[in-house]
Amino acid sequence: MAGEEANLRLTPQEEDVLAGSDGPVAQKVMRTVVQYGQALGAERLVDISGEGHLVIAYAIPGTGPSLEMLEELVAAGLTTKYPFTLDPRPPLDYDNWALDRQQVAVLDGMYRDQARYEDLLLRLGARDADAYTCRPFLEEVGNIPKRGDILAWSESACVVWANSVLGARTNRNGAIMDLLCNIAGKVPLSGLLDDGARRATWRIDVKTGDLPLPQLLGAVIGRRVQAGVPLVTGLDRFLDAGLDAPTRDYLNELGTACATAGAVGLFHVEGITPEAVEQGTGILARAHRTYVVDDDVLADLAASYPVLWRDGDARPEKCYLGCPHVSLEQIDWWARRITAALQERRQPRIKVPTTLCAAPQTLARLGAAGSAWRDLQAAGVMLSAGCPMQLFDNDLAVGSAIVTNSTKLRTYTNARFFPDRRIVEILVDGEI
Amino acid sequence: MSLTFKGRPVLPGTVTGVAVVSHGGFNTYASFFESIHEPSDKAICADSGNADLYGRDLAGRVICVPNTTGSTSGGAVWQRLIDMGNAPRAMLFSKAIDSLAAGGLIVADLWGGERIVVVDRLGDAFLEAVVHGDALTIGADGGVVIHRSGAGTSQEAPQEDALA
């Protein structure tokens, strides 16, 4: 970057690393972080104060660092300052995805380096072999930053949660830069790490008749505010204060959809999220803009989603749920709803092969002996700690008739979005 | 006719190329989702939510956007595109570069191969002026010239807009 634009001041220790005191690879890592800070207009770097969460879970080029890069970092003896969790594993537990032999062969080829890749991540600081989920902040997983913690997280769904619901501070760091900042233990003081950037630049007034679907509301907000910071008003009519489990699940889906449809790294919800509770509407920037969301706005968005199936009238071939990973309470909801719908039809099993995804720790806590697990298994729902999105990283799923309740999965694949309750009907009926 | 704008060179370089323009945020991962797996000389934009770019070939182009959006996986895309030979030639941002784009493009530059030239802070007026197919010249100082047929006159964009 042009030198005259760079006003980044470094500490003597940072200068030393940049000059090569810790070796050439640490020097290159620091140079990368410094240049990142210069691009973001930061005046200095600050110390990371909590565990990381990184998006780089996949040993396929284009989604994370190359094996060669990881090996270079490991060979130099570098590790992150704190342990880190990672996004979900690829769907290599084939029995839980109803894959055909051709798909298995393709995935085997794509992920032939996955074991070596994960071993290198472990050596660089990954928590353990079960560190893979996009809900690391669930109690059973336990990567729960404190309010005010400085982090270098990636995975847009996790960044927006850490900022919005936990009150920690992280920018939307990209893949690979996330790892390098956590190795350096430093991140540029910029963006959402600054108080000023955490003020709401948008006021989103929710004027729907009922609690809106978080997936659609989030997508509307993300499209509208892009990289802005919204204060959402009107949701406290429907959600309990105090961040109980249903509210947490709602906000997780809302944030994920916001971050996918736009570049939202932080949202406030009046009366619910910590900084909004503390500051009320005083959290609004003076020059904020206002947008009203009513039922028509949400319906228009849902109607605008294109059908990307080869045959738009096809029967659904598969259903993927749990993008982002679901909580124990959400698993219980699916188990109860699907079981009730099957009983009503006097039908033993669902008609669409379905996989529901959750963190390894959530599935362990659910326990194979639990009633929700038994009910889902009996209904034909498969459970996995993997990520459905990775099934689409090849040509085999293009155009196939897949349904989902995730606007994130819809955005990145040809899956069709339907609300939860409609999904239950589709699974039982086997058609749309 | 030509139009001149001045931005901040984030990854400086002198290149020429043909513009493709997104007036909304550019979802890096959604756009290149289908372009990072098999070597190809094309990079067809796969983001069905981007009416400006969906279906257009972005390989070797100068991509003009306000900012980037979407999954943070997008950070790793740039290096892969460079390796496969279907990267854009330059990224031009009307706003200050966002953290996702900055991180990915800088990592690709320092740990990868050839440079994708990056200029930011070109201003809203730049994005209003540039259209698909424009021939662009980018200077190492962050200057961007839009060349239009009927060359011979020069229109200097208001600097206060260009630097907003």
Please state the ipTM of this predicted complex. 0.91
Whether B159 has a pLDDT exceeding 70, the answer reads no
CA-CA distance, A304 to A323, in Å (whole number)? 21
Q: Are A213 and A257 in contact (CB under 8 A)?
A: no
Assess B142–A contact: CB distance below 8 Å, yes or no.
yes
In chain B, which among 56-75 make CB contacts under 8 A with chain A? 66-75
Q: Which residue of B has its CA nearest to A56?
A: B73
A188-198 tens-digit pLDDT: 999 999 999 99
Mutation choice for B interface testing from A159, A177, A192 by most B CBs within 10 A: A177
Amino acid at A125: G
- A307-429 CATH choice from 1.10.760.10, 3.30.499.10, 1.10.101.10, 3.40.50.11710: 3.30.499.10
B20-72 tens-digit pLDDT: 999 999 999 989 988 888 788 999 999 988 999 999 999 999 999 999 988 89
Assess B87–A contact: CB distance below 8 Å, yes or no.
no
3-state class (DSSP) for residue B65? strand
Across the A:B interface, residue pairs with CB atoms under 8 Å apart total 154
CA-CA distance, B50 to B66, in Å (whole number)? 13
Q: Is the preceding peptide bond at A212 cis, omega within 30 degrees of 0? A: no
Considering only CA atoms, which of A382, A256, A253 is closest in space to residue A329? A253
Assess B80–A contact: CB distance below 8 Å, yes or no.
yes
Whether B67 sits inside 8 A of A227 (CB atoms) is: yes
Q: Are A230 and A190 in contact (CB under 8 A)?
A: no
Taking residues A99-114, report their average pLDDT.
93
Assess A201–B contact: CB distance below 8 Å, yes or no.
no
Strands A230-233 and A200-206: parallel
Taking residues A214-235, report their average pLDDT.
96
| CB < 8 Å to B111, chain A | 28, 32, 69, 176
pLDDT above 70: percentage of residues in chain A: 98
B99-144 tens-digit pLDDT: 999 999 999 999 987 899 999 999 999 999 999 999 999 999 999 9
| CB < 8 Å to A393, chain B | 33, 37
CA-CA distance, A75 to A289, in Å (whole number)? 51
Q: Which residue of A has its CA nearest to B69?
A: A263
Q: Which residue of B has its CA nearest to A69?
A: B111
Both tokens of A19, joined, read: 């000059």
| CB < 8 Å to A60, chain B | 37
Q: How far is CA A165 from the centre of its chain?
A: 14
CA-CA distance, A386 to A377, in Å (whole number)? 17
3-state class (DSSP) for residue A57? coil
Whether B74 sits inside 8 A of A175 (CB atoms) is: yes
- In A101-152, where does DSSP find H-type helix? 101-110, 114-124
Q: Which range among A41-55, A71-85, A313-327, B65-79 shows the weakest confidence by mean pLDDT?
A: B65-79
Assess B93–A contact: CB distance below 8 Å, yes or no.
no
Q: Are B115 and B13 in contact (CB under 8 A)?
A: yes
Closest Cβ opposite residue B98 in set A222, A227, A394: A227
Q: Please say whether the structural domain A3-190 has been given the CATH code 3.40.50.
A: no
Q: Are B40 and B138 in contact (CB under 8 A)?
A: no
CA-CA distance, A112 to A236, in Å (whole number)? 48
The CA angle A47-A265-A172, to the nearest 5 degrees, is: 50
CA dihedral A327, A328, A331, A333 (to 10 degrees): -100
The CA angle A80-A88-A166, to the nearest 5 degrees, is: 65
Length of chain B: 164
Cα R_g (chain B), whole angstroms: 15
The neighbour count for residue B150, using CB atoms within 10 Å, is 8
Whether B152 has a pLDDT exceeding 50, the answer reads no
What's the confidence (pLDDT) of residue A1? 54
pLDDT band at A391 (very low <50, low <70, confident <90, very high): confident
In chain A, which among 22-51 make CB contacts under 8 A with chain B? 28, 31-32, 35-36, 39-41
- B2-162 CATH choice from 3.40.50.300, 3.50.30.10, 3.30.1490.20, 2.60.120.10: 3.50.30.10
| CB < 8 Å to A391, chain B | none
Q: Are B36 and B63 in contact (CB under 8 A)?
A: no
Domain locations in chain B as residue ranges: 2-162
3-state class (DSSP) for residue A110? helix
Considering only CA atoms, which of A323, A335, A178 is closest in space to residue A252? A323
* Count helices and strands in chain A by DSSP H and E runs: 16, 13
> In chain A, which segments carry CATH 3.30.499.10?
307-429
What's the confidence (pLDDT) of residue B150? 61
CA-CA distance, A371 to A206, in Å (whole number)? 37
Amino acid at A85: T
What residues does A9 pair with on adjacent strands?
Answer: A44
CA-CA distance, A362 to B93, in Å (whole number)? 42
Whether A56 sits inside 8 A of B76 (CB atoms) is: yes
Q: Are A233 and A203 in contact (CB under 8 A)?
A: yes
Output the pTM of the full model: 0.93
Taking residues A355-370, report their average pLDDT.
92
Mutation choice for B interface testing from A176, A216, A225, A301 by most B CBs within 10 A: A176
Q: Which residue of B has its CA nearest to A158?
A: B72
The neighbour count for residue A421, using CB atoms within 10 Å, is 11
What's the confidence (pLDDT) of residue B113? 76
Q: Which residue of B has its CA nearest to A305?
A: B49
Q: How far is CA A247 from the centre of its chain?
A: 17
CA-CA distance, B70 to A226, in Å (whole number)? 9
CA-CA distance, B78 to B99, in Å (whole number)? 14
Q: Is the preceding peptide bond at B66 cis, omega within 30 degrees of 0? A: no
pLDDT band at A370 (very low <50, low <70, confident <90, very high): confident
Q: Which range among A78-87, A315-324, A367-376 shows the weakest confidence by mean pLDDT?
A: A367-376
Whether B102 sits inside 8 A of A36 (CB atoms) is: yes
What's the confidence (pLDDT) of residue A418? 96
Q: Which residue of A has its CA nearest to B34?
A: A393
CA-CA distance, A413 to A402, in Å (whole number)? 9
